[in-house]
């Protein structure tokens, strides 16, 4: 899915969100969800690993990515915000949406 126009998050932010939502997603799956190339996702994953925002674990023949909740953002404006707090905000939004969807189908 390719999105035209601007968004609040960079591709690094989008990859982080995808990893948080689905730690078992492949590079190919993440690239498809975001709408960028696999090579771009590989570079971003390397950047996030180097900044210790995510960790990669080998599970059989696949990689599993885990968000490092205590990592901090790099930019001075967000340097006091932890990655786990950011991901937690998104998870709370997903829970609220799921609750609302369940409530509307139950009515």
What CATH number is attached to the domain comprising 50?
Answer: 1.10.10.10
Phi, psi of 69 (to 5 degrees): -60, -30
Considering the domain boundaries, does residue 39 fall inside one? Answer: yes
pLDDT attached to residue 74: 87
Give pLDDT tens digits for 16-53.
999 999 999 999 999 999 999 999 999 999 999 999 99
pLDDT over 90 percentage in the chain: 65
pLDDT attached to residue 8: 86
- DSSP state letter for 56: E
Considering the domain boundaries, does residue 1 fall inside one? Answer: no
Q: Where in the sequence is the domain holding 42, given as residue range(s)?
A: 11-106
Strand, helix or coil for residue 72 = strand
Q: For the chain, what is the domain count?
A: 1
- What global pTM score does this model have? 0.80
Considering the domain boundaries, does residue 4 fall inside one? Answer: no
């Amino acid at each position: 899915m390719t999105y035209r126009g601007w968004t609040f998050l960079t591709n690094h932010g989008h990859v982080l969100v995808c990893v948080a939502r689905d730690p078992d997603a492949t590079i190919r799956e993440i690239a498809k969800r975001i709408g960028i190339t696999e090579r771009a996702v590989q570079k971003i994953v390397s950047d996030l690993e180097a900044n210790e925002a995510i960790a990669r674990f080998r599970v059989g023949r696949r990689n599993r990515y885990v968000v490092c909740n205590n990592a901090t953002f790099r930019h001075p404006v967000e340097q006091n915000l932890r990655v786990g707090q950011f991901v937690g905000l998104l998870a709370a939004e997903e829970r609220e949406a799921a609750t609302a969807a369940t409530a509307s189908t139950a009515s």
